[in-house]
């Protein structure tokens, strides 16, 4: 009431109470600015790739196939044809035949030999099949 009486006639005056109500202690706008900056940072810096891995063995030099460690050879040709120990097979047949072999001798070593120029994706597709068949010792070889 005292404030009102001090206010000159015609001027726009507010009481302390009104001023406090109008301006909050922490402004919303700076908060939104900071949150937006954080949001943009996390959107750009984070990645959502679900990483998987294919375990490969790299046999030591001088590795000699002994009688108890059997090995099978899977060759991948440039066109995507696959052969198992020299016999051409399809993807499904490879899994079946290898699965049967692995049932009798689970420690069989599978050597995968892609031809030069076979893209890695093609090799990974075959490696997927091998792991589906249950192969545990898989190595990549050049020749």
Chain contacts with another protein (rule: CB under 8 A): 12, 22, 28, 31-32, 35-36, 38-39, 42-43, 45-61, 76, 114, 116-125, 127-128, 131-132, 140-142
The CA distance from 49 to 76, in Å, is 28
Smallest separation, CB 33 to another protein (Å): 11
- Shorter beta-carbon distance to another protein: residue 4 or 60: 60
- Shorter beta-carbon distance to another protein: residue 5 or 23: 23
Dihedrals φ, ψ of 71, to 5°?
-135, 145
Cβ contact 99:92 at 8 Å: no
Smallest separation, CB 56 to another protein (Å): 4
The CA distance from 70 to 111, in Å, is 11
Tokens 């943009």, located at residue: 40
Smallest separation, CB 97 to another protein (Å): 20
Strand order of the β-sheet with 87-89 is 87-89, 82-84, 71-76, 109-114, 137-140
Task: Map residue 15 onto helix, strand or coil.
Answer: coil
- Shorter beta-carbon distance to another protein: residue 32 or 93: 32
The CA distance from 21 to 16, in Å, is 9
- Shorter beta-carbon distance to another protein: residue 81 or 132: 132
């Amino acid at each position: 009431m005292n404030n009102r009486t001090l206010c000159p006639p015609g001027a726009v005056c507010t009481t302390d109470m009104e001023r406090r109500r109008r301006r909050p202690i922490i402004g919303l706008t700076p908060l939104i600015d900071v949150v937006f900056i954080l949001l943009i940072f996390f959107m750009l810096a984070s990645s959502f790739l679900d990483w998987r891995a294919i375990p490969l063995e790299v046999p030591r030099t001088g590795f000699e196939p002994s009688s108890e460690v059997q090995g099978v050879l899977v060759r991948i040709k440039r066109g995507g044809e696959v052969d198992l120990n020299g016999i051409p097979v399809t993807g499904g047949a490879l899994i079946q035949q290898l699965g049967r072999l692995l049932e009798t001798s689970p420690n069989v070593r599978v050597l995968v030999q892609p031809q030069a120029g076979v893209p890695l994706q093609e090799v990974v597709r075959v490696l997927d099949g091998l792991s589906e068949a249950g192969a545990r010792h898989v190595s990549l070889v050049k020749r």
